[in-house]
Structure 1
C-alpha cells in the first residue's frame, strides 16, 4: 500500500489531529489571555489600593510632596530616605507646614518654629497616637522620649 495515497480514513485522522491541535492552540491562547487579564486587574487593584490616600492633602488644601517623585528617587538610590522626609522644606520654603507620605500613610512636616512650639508644648496632650513605640528596655534614651513613649 502506498502511504502517499489519501484514504478516507487517513484524511479523517489528519483532520481530527489538526482539529485537536487547533483547539488546543485556541484554548492555550485563551488561557494566556485570561491570565494576562487577571494579572493586569491585580496590578490595577494594587495600584488603586496603594494610591487611595494620595488625595488626603489635596482635600485639605495642604501643600505636599508628590509621593512618586521622592520614593522613585529613594528606590534608585539618588535620594536618601532622610532627605526624602525633609523634601517639603526645600519644595515649600515659605509654608508653615507641608505634607508627605510614608507609603500610604500621610504625615505633616512642620516648618515654622512657633508652630512646632505650639504643638510640642501647648497642644501635646492632643497628640496621643504616636507613630512609633520604642520600649525603654530596648533603648533607654529614645524609649523615654516624649515623641516615642507609649
Structure 2
C-alpha cells in the first residue's frame, strides 16, 4: 500500500501522520507533502518534532515537499488533513484519475502551526491512523 498524507506546508500535520504510519504500517510506502511550497526542503517544525519525539516518533529525517499532480499516479491513497487541503488536492486531479482522496479524520485536524496545540493534533492523527489501518478499503489484499 502506498499512502500520501497532505497538509498545507508539510511541516506539522502531514509529516506527523507520516511518522505515525511508518511505525504502524512498516510494510507500506508512506510519504507526505504540502499543498503550498513555502517550506520545500525544510525539516518538520521544531515544536511538532518535539511533540512527536515525546511519543517515540522521530521526524528529523523528513523534509517538506509540495504536492504534485504526479502523486495521483504514485500513490494508492491520498489523505488530506482538512477540507481545504482536500479541495486543493482535488483541483489538481488529472482527468480520468480514480486515486481515492479522503480526509484523515471525520473532522479537520487543526493546524498546530497556528493553534500551537501540537499534542492535540498528534492525538487526532494517532486516533485517525488507528481507524485508517482498520478500514478494509485500504488493506493491500482488498
Structures share fold, TM-score greater than 0.5 = no
TM range (shorter): under 0.3
Q: TM-score, normalised by structure 1?
A: 0.22
The structure showing larger relative contact order (alpha-carbon pairs under 8 Å, at least 6 residues apart) is 2
Q: TM-score, normalised by structure 2?
A: 0.23
Structure number with higher strand proportion: 2
Q: Which has the larger radius of gyration?
A: 1
Structure number with higher helix proportion: 1
